[in-house]
Amino acid sequence: MTDKFQSFITVFMLVDTIIAETNMLRKLTKRRAVSPVIATVVLVAVTITIAVAVSYWMSGISGQYTKFEKVEIQSGYANLEDDGGWTITLEMKNSGSATANLITVFVNDKPVDLYDSDFILTEQESGVGVGDDGTRTGTNIPATGLAIESGKTADIDGDPLTKDPVEVYIGSTLFSSGTTMNIKIHSAGGMDYIKLIELV
């Protein structure tokens, strides 16, 4: 009798559980769903939020790989020196997003230090020599290059209180007044920055 009684209790509990679950389902089915308009608004808001997050993430990644150098020669002019040579002054600014390293100066597509066969480097200035006519030839850009950070102007000595632009020195026997010079500055990144300057 105990086994029958035990199985009766088990069946009764099972029926009671089924009835309770059926009542729960009835309560759930009587609930109303969210209106389609509200569901659409919520779905669009979630989609826009995810799209904005992904775009910020992608712009951060692409910004790391799209840095570039862009040096602008803001002004350039030539001054006649007392020794008869010319000093060409170039004021330059890096408007790119990466540091530019200027390494070589060309005058009419020829390195500036090759314009004089007796070119001798002076000890005071790297890249500046004294030619056989006694005039300076070369540039004040250091042999190691001139780094211009993004948004900064070219400054040879690095002192923010003084303005020390790039200078190119041309000897007196090489060119005459009225000649237009093609000054090209080459960077370590392979870029060329060109300015045409007329000797006065």
Question: pLDDT tens-digit profile of 99-125?
Answer: 999 999 999 998 887 765 444 444 444
Strand partners, 93: 72, 153
The two structure tokens encoding residue 8? 């009766």
Confidence of residue 137 (pLDDT cuts 50, 70, 90): low
DSSP 5: H
Contact 198, 181 (CB under 8 A): yes
Residues 109, 52 share a domain: no
Do 101 and 147 fall into the same domain?
yes
**In terms of residue numbers, what domain contains 130?**
71-198
Query: Does one domain contain both 58 and 91?
Result: no
Instruction: Say whether both 159 and 86 belong to one domain.
Output: yes
Cα 145 from chain centroid (whole Å)? 19
Q: Is 188 helix (H, G, I), strand (E, B) or coil?
A: coil
The average pLDDT across 8-12 equals 70
Distance, CA of 86 to CA of 72 (rounded, Å): 22
Q: Give me the number of domains the chain comprises.
A: 2
pLDDT computed for residue 122 by the predictor? 42
Domain-terminating residue out of 14, 45, 65: 65
Domain boundary among 65, 81, 103: 65
18 plus 98 within the same structural domain: no
Are 147 and 76 in the same domain? yes
Task: Give me the percent of the chain exceeding a pLDDT of 90.
Answer: 24
* Domain co-membership, 39 together with 99: no
CB 140 within 8 A of CB 102: no
pLDDT tens track for 45-99:
999 999 998 888 887 776 667 788 899 999 999 998 887 788 899 999 999 988 9
22 vs 196, more confident: 196
Alpha-carbon distance 156 to 40, whole Å? Answer: 62
Residues 155 and 86 reside in one and the same domain: yes
- 8 A C-beta contact, residue 200 and residue 88: no
Q: Is 55 found in the same domain as 24?
A: yes
Tokens read off for 110: 């020829």
Tokens representing 88 are 């060409």
> Could you give the 3-state DSSP secondary structure of residue 171?
coil
Could you tell me if 94 and 186 lie in one domain? Answer: yes
Last residue of a domain, one of 42, 65, 88: 65
Q: How many CB atoms lie within 10 A of CB 184?
A: 18
Same domain membership, residue 83 and residue 56:
no
